[in-house]
Structure 1
Amino acid sequence: MELTLRPLDLTDIDDFMGWATDEKAARYCSWEPYQDKSEAIKFINDQVLSHPYYRAICVDGRPVGAISVMSNTAARDKCRGELGYVLGSKFWGKGIVTAAVKLVMERIFVEWPELERLEALVDVENFASQRVMEKAGFQREGVLRKYGVLKGKVRDYVMFSFLKTDFVS
């Protein structure tokens, strides 16, 4: 199994629908599962293509999920980026996301030299993603109580971080 990351584009729409319609995959995501392809095409056109770091997670050349880093625009926050990912549920438990996160960690500090910190917010009930963060080398910083709203419900999140200096520690 060869794992690669590459930009997602409109030719990937059928593979995108594989995880974007997956209720299990969308459970802890900010979006609801997509119902039709036109919504997904609009998302890719409006959000993905212009995104500074949105990559397809590919297994043997085929997209099975996505991983992204959001940069902060405020001058005082430019040193931080937020990691997010989604993977089709039929690919869970194979180490794919952990490997994808590690690839991003190796690249993002080079591609975005202003970053000092990569962070991820994980729903307090999403134990699998918490484990991914730990296996990838992220540090658990603590629980942010009542930190955000997910699908209409106020949720607690666990903050994880990885610092550029962690590579040389």
Structure 2
Amino acid sequence: MESYSDSEITIRPLELSDADDFMQWYSDENVSKFCSWDAFTSKEAAIVYVANNVINHPYHKAICLSGRPVGYVMVTPFQGNDKCRAEIGFGVASAYWGKGIATRAVKMAAREVFAEWGHLERLEALVEVGNVASGRVMEKAGFEREGVLRKYWIMKGRARDFVMFSILRSDIIR
């Protein structure tokens, strides 16, 4: 397994000019299998998605390897009485799976949002039970497995079970 140094893995805002790079994961059925979106079949459709859903998102960044996007990490804040928590998600082009890239990016994003969002106390991730590799990423990134939420969310037409993972501000910022 090839591994990368921490300095080679960075996160930054995703840009429309990254279209050729983001097609690596947005058109990859292995990636979209466990995502709410389906693999994009055209670059134009992916560009529209990024323009409408990614660019203005509160925290949606490209995971870069030596400056080139190979995936994404996003954090979606909750509102109102739930504003003390946010949900994190990620995806990496399947050619880069198993190399520690997603784990490093999740750690970086968690540190960044806890540092920037002073009201945030809890960061959580929902991982479909069949997505064992993403569960391992969460655990390696320091998230705690809390339990299985049965028939929790409808994804791709059917109710599915999800594992809840979380990390607290106090787990990261000491």
TM-superposed deviation, 1:105? 1.6
TM-superposed deviation, 1:18? 1.0
> Once the two structures are superposed, what CA deviation does each residue of 1:81-105 show, in whole Å capped at 9, x if it has no partner?
0000010000000000000011012
Taking the aligned partners of 2:46 and 2:131, their CA distance within structure 1 comes to 25
Taking the aligned partners of 2:10 and 2:154, their CA distance within structure 1 comes to 32
For residues 64-103 of structure 1, what are the structure 2 equivalents within 5 Å? 64-73=70-79, 75-103=80-108
SS of structure 1 residue aligned to 2:24: helix
In structure 1, runs of 5+ residues without a counterpart are none
Taking the aligned partners of 1:120 and 1:130, their CA distance within structure 2 comes to 9
2:77 aligned partner, one-letter code: S
TM-score, with structure 1 as normaliser: 0.97
2:127 aligns with one of 122, 131, 141: 122
1:14 aligned partner, one-letter code: D
2:68 aligns with one of 52, 62, 70: 62
In structure 2, runs of 5+ residues without a counterpart are none
1:163 aligns with one of 139, 164, 168: 168
Taking the aligned partners of 1:167 and 1:15, their CA distance within structure 2 comes to 31
Taking the aligned partners of 2:134 and 2:173, their CA distance within structure 1 comes to 25
Alpha carbon RMSD of aligned pairs, Å? 1.0
Provide runs of 4+ in structure 1 moved above 3 Å: none
TM-superposed deviation, 1:168? 5.1
Taking the aligned partners of 2:93 and 2:173, their CA distance within structure 1 comes to 33
1:106 aligned partner, one-letter code: R
2:112 pairs with 1:112: no
SS of structure 1 residue aligned to 2:81: helix
2:4 pairs with 1:4: no
